[in-house]
Amino acid sequence: MTDCRTIAVANQKGGVAKTTTVASLGAALAELGRKVLLVDLDAQACLTFSLGLDPEAVELSVHDVLLGRVAASMAIQPTADGPDLLPATIELAGCEGQLLTRTGREYTLRLALEEVRPSYDVILLDCAPSLGVLTINALTAADEVLIPLQCETLSHRGVGQLLDTVRDVQRLTNRDLRVMGVLPTLFDSRTTHAREVLADIVTRYGLDVVEPSIAKSVRFAEAPAAGRSILRTAGRTPGAQAYREHARRIAGLDLADEVRVPSEFIHLATEVVPT
C-alpha cells in the first residue's frame, strides 16, 4: 500500500483542455514539493511535446511499457517543469489493436505502474479523446477521474456516455474508482451561457463541480510551444493561479496553510477591527 493518488483526466470530447490540465496541475503539484508522474496516453503525444520532448526522438515510450517490452521506470524521463513523464509516441496508435488480443488487457497500465507507484505522490493520466481500450486502462489504473468540460452548447452530449463507461469500469475492473467531478475549462465568465450549461450538466448527472473554473486565456495556447506549462510561462495569470488552487486541494493543503498567521498576529488583528 502506498499513499500515491492516481487521477485520470478524461473526456472523449476533443479539445476540452485535458492535456493542458495534466501539464498545469502536474507543474503546480511539483511546485508544492510533490513527486509527480504524468502519463501521456494519446498517440498525438501532445503532452510529451508540450513538456519539451520531441516525440520523434523518444526511444522508449508508454507503448513499449504497455506491450511489456520494458519496465515503466526505464521509459520515464524528467521534465523541465518538475514532474516526471512517461512519454508517448505515434506508435501508441497501434497499441489499442495489439492490446485487444490480450487477456486482462484492461489491467495492463495498472500493473505496469505498480512498480513506480511507491516513488510518487500523484500520478496524472492524460487520456486521448476516445473511450477506447487505453482510456479504459486509465480508468482501471486510477483512484479518481477528473472530467474537464468546456461549457458550451451540446457539451452535455458525451458526458452521459463517459459516465456509463465509468460505471462499467466500477462494475467490472475498478470498483474503487471515484468521480472527482467536472472541471470547467476554457470558461467565459462574461456570459451567462457557460453557467447555464454547467448548471444543467450538474443537475442532469449529479456531478460535483471542481472549483475554481479555468478561465479562457490566450496564454494557455502559448505555453506548449515553449515546451513548458503555463505555470512557468505565465505563472501569475488567473489560469495558472486556478491550477495552483486545484493542486493545493489535491495535495491536501488548505488555502490557509499558505498564509499561516501566528496566533499573536490574529489577536492583534481582532483588536484593531473598528467597532
Ligand X SMILES: Nc1ncnc2c1ncn2[C@@H]1O[C@H](COP(=O)(O)OP(=O)(O)OP(=O)(O)O)[C@@H](O)[C@H]1O
Q: Which residues bind ligand X (CB under 6 A)?
A: 14-20, 42, 46, 129, 185-186, 214, 216-217, 220-221, 224, 239
CA pseudo-torsion sign 115, 118, 120, 121: positive
Number of Cβ within 10 Å of residue 191's Cβ equals 12
- Eight-state DSSP code of residue 106: G
Stretch that binds Mg ion, among 15-23, 151-159, 178-186, 262-270 (CB under 5 A): 15-23
CB of 116 to ligand X, least distance (A): 23
Number of Cβ within 10 Å of residue 90's Cβ equals 13
Short-list 66, 196, 33, CA closest to 132: 66
CB of 272 to ligand X, least distance (A): 40
CB of 68 to Mg ion, least distance (A): 25
Phi-psi region of 227 (alpha: psi -120 to 50; beta: other; left: phi over 0): left
Short-list 205, 103, 201, CA closest to 156: 201
- Cβ distance to ligand X smaller for residue 18 or 117: 18
CB of 262 to Mg ion, least distance (A): 44
Question: Distance (Å, rounded) from C-alpha 4 to C-alpha 121?
Answer: 4
CB of 192 to ligand X, least distance (A): 19
Q: Are strands 122-127 and 84-86 parallel, antiparallel or unpaired?
A: unpaired
Q: From Mg ion, ligand X, none, which one binds at residue 199 (CB under 5 to 8 Å depending on kind)?
A: none
**Per-position DSSP letters for 211-268, written without gaps between them:** SSP-B--HHHHHHHHHTS-HHHHSTTSHHHHHHHHHHHHHTT--HHHHT---HHHHHH
- Cβ distance to Mg ion smaller for residue 18 or 63: 18
Residue 11, interface with Mg ion (CB under 5 A)? no
CA 32 to each of CA 9, 21, 46, 137, 238: distance values in angstroms, whole numbers, following the listed order: 20, 16, 24, 28, 18
CB of 274 to ligand X, least distance (A): 40
Residue 19, interface with Mg ion (CB under 5 A)? yes
Q: From Mg ion, ligand X, none, which one binds at residue 214 (CB under 5 to 8 Å depending on kind)?
A: ligand X
- Cβ distance to ligand X smaller for residue 129 or 235: 129
Q: From ligand X, Mg ion, none, which one binds at residue 221 (CB under 5 to 8 Å depending on kind)?
A: ligand X
Stretch that binds Mg ion, among 40-48, 207-215, 229-237, 248-256 (CB under 5 A): 40-48
Residue 18, interface with Mg ion (CB under 5 A)? yes
Helix (H, G, I), strand (E, B) or coil at 195: helix
CB of 270 to ligand X, least distance (A): 39
Q: From ligand X, Mg ion, none, which one binds at residue 239 (CB under 5 to 8 Å depending on kind)?
A: ligand X
Q: Which residues contribute to the site for Mg ion (CB under 5 A)?
A: 18-19, 46
